[in-house]
Amino acid sequence: MKKIVLLFLIVFSISCRKENVVEKPKPKESSPERTPKKIGNYISDDQDFFWSPKQSDTAKYLVRIVFQKEFAVYQYHGQCLYYFFTNHYHTKTDKIELLWTYKSDCLLDMKYLKQSNGIKEYPKNGDSFCEYTLVNDSVIKVNYKFPQWVKKINETEKDSIFPHYLYLQPKDNSYK
């Protein structure tokens, strides 16, 4: 019996001894290359991406813009929406063109949008008003076709009605 126990202990100790086990190197997790986003990634009828200018807390309007498939929805506050028709171009420049053709749902009287405001060249129905291009994943640059008129509107309203840069708002923030 002693021989069996001794044999068992020897076999057990041999099987438990640490051998030089060479682990296979783990394959490096390939990080997906980060591809730059296109402005088209922010156009959706199902999910809202809110873009807003940097405004002071005392701003008269809380401008936010959401790009949908047919419209750029300008929200001047909770009870004033303007739906401007847009074209999205899938070119190397990847831009959205806003047309001066809109429908509104607004309690405010924003008649200055229909007037020249003393500026010779101002947008009329169907005109190409501006182009949006993505600077990076969270900033859009706006190029206006009627810069003097835009400047006059922003000065008259003492606000950034038509901002030159828009910043993507975090999903958990409705206004910032």
The whole-angstrom separation of Cα 137 and Cα 167 is 9
Number of C-beta neighbours around residue 23 at 10 A? 5
Written as one letter, the residue type at 174 is S
Residue with tokens 């129905």: 125
Q: What does the pLDDT read at residue 157?
A: 79
Q: What does the pLDDT read at residue 33?
A: 45
- List all residues 6 or more positions away from 149 whose beta carbon is below 8 Å from its beta carbon: 116, 117, 119, 121, 122, 123
Mean pLDDT split into 10-residue runs, the chain, 176 residues: 63 58 51 64 90 73 90 89 88 84 88 89 94 93 96 84 92 57
**What does each C-alpha distance from 31 to 10, 34, 87, 159 come to in angstroms?**
49, 8, 34, 43
Q: What does the pLDDT read at residue 32?
A: 45
Q: Phi/psi class of residue 136: alpha, beta or left (left: φ > 0; alpha: ψ in -120 to 50)?
A: beta
Listed residue (136, 138, 71) closest to 100, CA to CA: 71
Q: What does the pLDDT read at residue 96?
A: 92
Q: What does the pLDDT read at residue 29?
A: 47
**What does each C-alpha distance from 12 to 2, 5, 15 come to in angstroms?**
15, 10, 5
